[in-house]
Amino acid sequence: MQDNNKFGKVGEQLGWISIIGNIVLFVLKYMAGVISGSVALLADAWHTLGDSLSSIIMIVGIRISRKPPDEEHPYGHGRAEWVASLLIGAFLIIIAVGFVRESIERLRDHNDFNYGLLAWVATITSIVVKEIMAQLAFWGSRKTGLKSLKADGWHHRTDSISSVIVLVGLIFGNHVWWVDGALGIIVSLLIFYAAYQIIKENTSAILGEKPDEKTIQSIYLIVKRNCQNEVYLHHLRIHHYGQYKELTAHIMLRGSLTLNQSHEVATSIEDMIKEELQIETTLHVEPYEEDNKEESQKGL
């Protein structure tokens, strides 16, 4: 629980950095968009403000996920952080739909725009700052394992890429009337893609995923390295609840072992897995006899 609190604090701190930085960038981009009349810049500005809202959702999700288990939620509240990530993805879709609509209207009406110095300053600043914020969020996600922090990082990355696209518009926009509307649509497609990746990853986690090969191998190595008895491990199932993980598995032990001896072996393995992998483990013991060991292991 102490590690969860520490990781949660890291996520919250990065979230507040994101909120403050995005609000400053929004004001700068919005002013540039209004002055120039550029739909791409205005869309990029609202995309940036959307990042602030997603960071607020992330912070709320992290705070809920840090709550300890209670009577109604015996496995804790860790999945609240995944729900927060889904909300971020849904919000990105809403933003993208609005941008597509506005960009199509711009192309249909042949609206005028005129990029100026402020547009250049706002766009270049956004590219640099948003990529730094993305790298911070990805670093925080790797350090803490928080999926919502990774989602927030992708949100920053798409904003940085969209600003790069707007920069292309600054170079050619004053000479080609349709550039601004076309760039608005491209930015929207990037946002759609980011939303798809976020929703796909977190939906898969909520539905349940098989243990990754690295974790399985680590568990087998722990058993092999620390257990003097012959132990055959199979039917591994890992249940994720945010930072809290629970493993259920079957082990086959010699049928000649007493009930107390089998219990000691199982408890020893459970303690080892918890200590080295921070996974709560429950093992179901099955007997095998030496003369039909190979038959007992079929299907493992």
Q: What percent of the chain has pLDDT over 70?
A: 79
Residue whose structure tokens are 């402020």: 118
At the topology level of CATH, where does 213-296 sit? Alpha-Beta Plaits (3.30.70)
pLDDT score for 128: 92
pLDDT one-digit tens code per residue, 217-248: 888 887 777 666 666 777 888 777 666 677 88
pLDDT score for 207: 67
pLDDT score for 2: 44
pLDDT one-digit tens code per residue, 133-144: 889 889 888 887
pLDDT one-digit tens code per residue, 89-118: 888 788 788 778 877 877 787 665 667 788
Average of per-residue pLDDT across 153-181: 76
The type of residue at 298 is K
How far is the C-alpha of 250 from the C-alpha of 236, rounded, in Å?
A: 7
Instruction: Tell me the DSSP string of 223-289.
Output: HHHH--S--EEEEEEEEEETTEEEEEEEEEEETTS-HHHHHHHHHHHHHHHHHHH--EEEEEEEEE-
How far is the C-alpha of 171 from the C-alpha of 165, rounded, in Å?
A: 10
Torsion of CA 156, 160, 162, 167, to 10 degrees: 160
- Degrees, nearest 5: CA angle 278-214-14: 60
Range in 44-48, 120-124, 263-267 with the lowest mean pLDDT = 44-48
CA distances from 258 to 50, 122, 153, 179, 294 (A): 62, 73, 53, 78, 22
- Main-chain phi, psi angles of 211, to 5 degrees: -60, 140
CA distances from 51 to 21, 194, 266, 292 (A): 10, 12, 48, 61
Report whether pLDDT(150) > 70.
yes
Non-local (6+) Cβ contacts of 109 within 8 A are: none
How far is the C-alpha of 108 from the C-alpha of 284, rounded, in Å?
A: 67
Average of per-residue pLDDT across 60-81: 70
How far is the C-alpha of 145 from the C-alpha of 82, rounded, in Å?
A: 11
Domain boundaries, the chain: 2-207, 213-296
CB 195 within 8 A of CB 90: yes
Q: What is the C-alpha radius of gyration for the chain, rounded to an integer number of angstroms?
A: 26
How far is the C-alpha of 253 from the C-alpha of 262, rounded, in Å?
A: 7
Give 9 or 30, the one with higher predicted confidence: 30
Both tokens of 151, joined, read 């989602």
How far is the C-alpha of 286 from the C-alpha of 270, rounded, in Å?
A: 16
State pTM to two decimals.
0.59
Report whether pLDDT(294) > 60.
no
Count CB neighbours of 20 within 10 A.
12
CA distances from 52 to 21, 56, 133 (A): 8, 6, 12
The CATH class of 2-207 is mainly alpha
How far is the C-alpha of 143 from the C-alpha of 243, rounded, in Å?
A: 12
